[in-house]
Amino acid sequence: MQQFHTKDIHKLSFLVTGGAGFIGSHIVEYLLKQGAGKVRVLDNLATGLQSNIDLFKDNPAFEFMNGDIRDAAVCRQACEGIDYVSHQAALGSVPRSIADPITSNDVNVGGFVNMLTAAKDAGVKTFVYASSSSVYGDDPELPKREVKTGNPLSPYAVTKKANELYADVFSKLYGMKLCGFRYFNVFGPRQDPNGPYAAVIPLFVSGILNNTAVYINGDGEQTRDFTFVDNAVQANIRGMLAENDTAFGEVYNVAVGENFSVNFLYTAIRDLLGKEHQATYREARAGDVRNSLADISKAKSLLGYEPTQRFAQGLEETVSFFRAMHA
């Protein structure tokens, strides 16, 4: 992965909440490889993986706190002595939030406010956080621009919209330096293929490799702006270490600015694996948006964000990772 910052980070301390998760662990990996002074992870391992933490356990700059962001005291402890926070901890998944809106709200909204408050009280320099493209809801306009959102289609989308509203208020009331990132279908190595709420790409790869059923929701012609994880890492690093004050108090689309259908994705994965596996089509999923495509000009102009990996390159790297894991 290329370097996304110019600032010397050898004496700086970072907290990554949800750092045992998919995106969080990639942010941790980047910071440690670049020689950060301290990288602390706060994670309760509810959806994060111990195997992701084990990758870093021998690095003297790495610290792990097993704790829950729903506990305000834990959040305060995690923020002690920290310069920068990347808040990735959340309960993801639209279907999970539809099945259990209370827990999604407790973690994603209550936990977020706990973290914002702890970071404010600790005097953290910059706080960046994961929002989601789900906040665009039923607005049909493409490409998606940050200034215009529709009505949320799921409890998960409501929680991410609430995060953005809280961040805006904390930015204005307390002068906190905050950036939010609306992720568009982030994928890559270490994305968990297991469990009822696994993401589409690891599910497809796993099903084809194991010759088990692969399901496509609806007709498969719904489109997504699939975003390789290195691009999400870049946004977080650029946001945390931004030097121009105009970058703060904003939310940004984090994507590539290209979209592909789920059917195209499935065929591409099958071709990379050299398999003839057939997918099974089933009913469209409640709460899903039909088409998704990001305008990334705001992140480019204010953060210097520029995607380093496009769909085909990222998919090849991801499929290679899962194939090696399967071997």
Query: Is 194 domain-assigned?
Result: no
Structural domain of 86: 13-187+227-257+294-308
**Domain count within the chain:** 1
Instruction: Please tell me the distance from the alpha carbon of residue 61 to that of residue 59, in angstroms, as a whole number.
Output: 5
Mean pLDDT in the chain?
A: 95
Q: Is-catalytic flag, 156? A: yes
Chain centroid to Cα 88, Å, comes to 6
Instruction: Classify residue 222: in a domain, yes or no.
Output: no
CATH number of the structural domain spanning residue 153 = 3.40.50.720
Residue 273 within any structural domain of the chain: no
The answer to whether residue 28 sits within a structural domain is yes
Give the integer Cα–Cα distance in Å for 146 and 45.
32
Q: Tens of pLDDT along 168-221?
A: 999 999 999 999 999 999 999 999 888 777 889 999 999 999 999 999 999 999
| 148 inside domain | yes
Residue 6 clears pLDDT 90, i.e. is over it: no
User: Considering the domain boundaries, does residue 90 fall inside one?
Assistant: yes
279 domain-assigned: no
Q: Is residue 269 part of a domain?
A: no
Q: Kindly name the residue from 129, 156, 166, 252 that is annotated as catalytic.
A: 156
CA distances in angstroms from 223 to 41, 80, 110, 213, 291, listed in the order given: 34, 42, 32, 22, 5
pTM to 2 decimal places? 0.96
Arithmetic mean of pLDDT, 250-279: 96
Kind and range of the H or E element at 118? helix 111-122
